[in-house]
Amino acid sequence: MKSRLFRFVSLFLLSIVLIAACNSTTTVTSQKETQPLTVGYNLWPGLFPIALAQEKEFFTAQGVKVKPVYVQNFLESVSEFSAGQYDGVAITVSSLMSIIEKNPDLQIAMATDESAGSDSIVVRPEVKSVADLKGKRLGVRLGDGELFVSEMLQKHGLTSDNLTLVNVEGEAVPARFKSGDIQAGHTWEPYLSEVTKSGGRVLFTSKDTPGLISSVIVFRSSVVRDRPKDIQAFIRAWFQAQDYWQANPEESKALIAKTLSIKPEEISTEGVKLYTLKDNLKAFTPGSTTESLYHTAKLYADFYIRTGGLSTAPDIQKMINPSFVQMSQAGN
């Protein structure tokens, strides 16, 4: 009798322990799943839908917790992502190539925009043509900004050997231009307006290189594997914000300005082509022009290999993940 009672009590206690363990596991898993998706972005107009989605609570409406991390300096956001601080980041294809060797587990989930005139080569008044750049100092972010400069030079029969390329961030071009340290520079809005207001003029723009300077949202492969539904919801909210911005421009400007602590008049998409779902479907289709991310990524990969930025070619097929855009087309 005592033996039966002992067995019964033992089984009862074991059941309680197992139930408690299961509940504990469920709680831990639930806590892990409810962690917000952290996505870094910077002061580039094509990325502002993320700020609007945050203000209008579109992420919540689409069923995902997102913590957008705004860092004004582009390189700082890329560096922090590369160091593992975010789940995803908004980045140019060129900058992605600059970190892919140290971070081979990255996947492009969507394309946000392309520079269609906003990226510019600005020059001092005495520089009248591209030919006049011979012997001059041109400020550009060495590495991912060089291909844009090379395209300009090539179109006019020059090479980088005909001038001196100085490593200058786009944000720093106005100050370096004003000091006379450089006679030309690669920059974009809102820094471009600073240069033109101080007497500089635009010599060449990304209108002449369609699709070459494009931005994408990149996630780590582990996030793609573990949280595909959250990424899909993030993309839905992005397009929802983009549509809202188009339909309500003034309200959207005010909300974006509030989030980024800038003036509404500083917000403009002039020279920037925001990518729709249709544009994304084109971008995620293999092709032989810069409308295709596959082609653009290969251009940068080849350039980095030629110039020593990469030692081996990245696996572009693995790096570009079209599944999220395709699911968006299917209404998911």
| Best CA proximity match to 210, nearest among 309, 285, 295 | 295
pLDDT at position 75 is: 86
Residues 6+ apart with CB under 8 A from 142: 165, 167
Question: What angle (nearest 5°) sits at the alpha carbon of residue 26, between those of residues 23 and 32?
Answer: 145
- Give me the pLDDT at residue 330, please: 79
Range 120-208 has CATH code 3.40.190.10 = yes
Query: Could you tell me which of 73, 80, 108, 109 has the C-alpha nearest to residue 94?
Result: 108
Taking the domains of the chain in order of start, what are their residue ranges? 37-114+212-329, 120-208
> Model confidence over 264-284: pLDDT tens digits?
998 999 999 999 999 999 999
Using one digit for the tens of pLDDT, what is the confidence trace for 96-105?
Answer: 999 999 999 9
Axis-axis angle for helices 228-247, 249-260 (nearest 10): 120
Is the pLDDT at 290 greater than 50, yes or no? Answer: yes
CB atoms within 10 A of CB 257: 17
Read off the pLDDT of each residue in 77-87 and give the average, rounded to a whole number: 94
Cα separation values, 17 from 7, 11, 21, 314, 315, Å? 15, 10, 6, 50, 48
37-114+212-329 and 120-208 in the same fold: yes
pLDDT of residue 33: 55
Sorted by sequence, the CB contacts under 8 Å of residue 101 that are 6+ apart come out as 310, 311, 312, 314
Cα 130 to Cα 156: distance, rounded to the nearest angstrom: 7
User: What does the pLDDT read at residue 121?
Assistant: 98
Distance of CA 179 to the CA centre of its chain: 31
Identify the pLDDT of residue 332. Answer: 66
User: For residue 189, what pLDDT is reported?
Assistant: 82
How do residues 216-241 score in pLDDT, each as one tens digit? 999 999 999 999 999 999 999 999 99
pLDDT of 172 above 90? yes
Its sign, for the CA torsion 30, 32, 35, 37, is: negative
Does 83 score more than 80 pLDDT?
Answer: yes
- What pLDDT band is residue 317 in, cutting at 50, 70 and 90? very high
Confidence of residue 314 (pLDDT cuts 50, 70, 90): very high
CATH fold of 37-114+212-329: D-Maltodextrin-Binding Protein; domain 2 (3.40.190)
Structure tokens belonging to residue 156: 């006019």
* pLDDT for position 72: 86
Helix (H) or strand (E) holding 297: helix 293-307
